[in-house]
Amino acid sequence: MEIHNTTEDIVIAEVNAICDSLQAKGEMAGICTCSQCRQDAICYVLNRAVPRYMVSHRGAARILEADPQNQADISTLVYEGIRRVSHNQRPYFEHGKDAGKEAALDEPVFNIPTIMGRVFSGLNFSPMSNINVELLTNGTMVEMKDPNWQNPYIIIPNTGGTFTFWPKPLPAKEADERQFFEYTVKINADGMAELNHGFTVPVMSGKINSGFSLNRTFKLPDFYLFPPGEEKDQRLLNE
Ligand SMILES: [Zn+2]
């Protein structure tokens, strides 16, 4: 079973279309369209847009979560993202050198998928926001792929209680090597008991995954928070 965030496809296509058309017209107006700035703009939008997950299973696709109103917001976010990224360009990086092409890196790595989950109040089953979610491995915070991805992640309002992490790729000895990575999500909210959930992500090593379209999503079960002393077994809540 593959889980796919269709918002990613829309955002990647829109950012590339706008950057390509700016490059073609030569009307840059201070906008950088290099691959790093494109990826930064894509991250900016994806961290703010509502994800729409689809399960594809033997060719059959089923939309799990749909929000048509969200589509208009994405275009606004794309323009905002491209402008913001260009006005806050990364230092120590040769902008514009590659003009949209990805750097080819041959060393094998474990491309950890994006890790996504949702948090609800167990009291009224509404999505929670302004709460803190941490991704840990062996008790330490997991380093993210780049500074656009936050750990700890603060769930923002109107995103359906969604949090997303994209861990940094880890070095592998060779390609097609299978390894299991152990993680824990730690969720804290005022007035609620802390929730810790351990899970394992199987990853095959390969070349560095620089394109979002190649990325997989590891979907966690929905989490429900309860006041201290009223915790429920999370497994039962997902049945
Ligand atoms: Zn740039």
Report the helix count and the strand count for the chain, using DSSP H and E. Answer: 4, 14
The confidence score (pLDDT) of residue 210 equals 46
Q: Say what the pLDDT of residue 70 is.
A: 65
Q: Which residue's entry shows tokens 């491209």?
A: 82
| Å from CA of 149 to ligand 1 middle | 18
Q: How far is the CA of 32 from the centre of ligand 1 (A)?
A: 5
Residue 8 has pLDDT above 60, yes or no: yes
- Render pLDDT for 87-96 as a digit per residue (tens, 0 to 9): 777 766 666 5
- C-alpha distances (whole Å) from 92 to each of 36, 89, 95, 97, 149 are 12, 9, 9, 13, 19
Distance 14 CA to ligand 1 centre (A): 17
Of 92-96, 146-150, 155-159, the range with the highest mean pLDDT is 155-159
Element (H, E) at 18: helix 6-25
Distance 93 CA to ligand 1 centre (A): 8
Q: How far, in Å, from the CA of 105 to the mean position of ligand 1?
A: 19
Residue 102 DSSP SS3: coil
Percent above pLDDT 90 for the chain: 31
Residue 182: predicted pLDDT: 96
16-56 confidence digits (pLDDT tens): 888 888 888 776 777 888 888 899 999 999 988 888 887 76
Q: How far, in Å, is the centroid of ligand 1 from the Cα of 146?
A: 15
What is the average per-residue pLDDT within 62-82? Answer: 70
Domains of the chain, start order: 2-87 (no CATH), 109-237 (2.60.40.1120)
30 Cα–ligand 1 center, Å: 10
* 125-138 residue pLDDT tens: 999 999 999 999 99
The CA 31 to ligand 1 mean position distance, Å, reads 8
Residue pair 119/161 in contact (Cβ under 8 Å)? The answer is yes
Would you state the pLDDT for residue 179?
92
| Per-residue pLDDT, 57 | 54
Ligand 1 centroid to 96 CA: how many Å?
Answer: 6
Taking the centre of ligand 1 as the mean of its atom positions, its distance from the CA of residue 135, in whole angstroms, is 29
Residues 201/112, Cβ–Cβ less than 8 Å: yes
Evaluate whether 85 touches 37 at the Cβ level (below 8 Å): yes
Tally Cβ neighbours within 10 Å of residue 148: 18
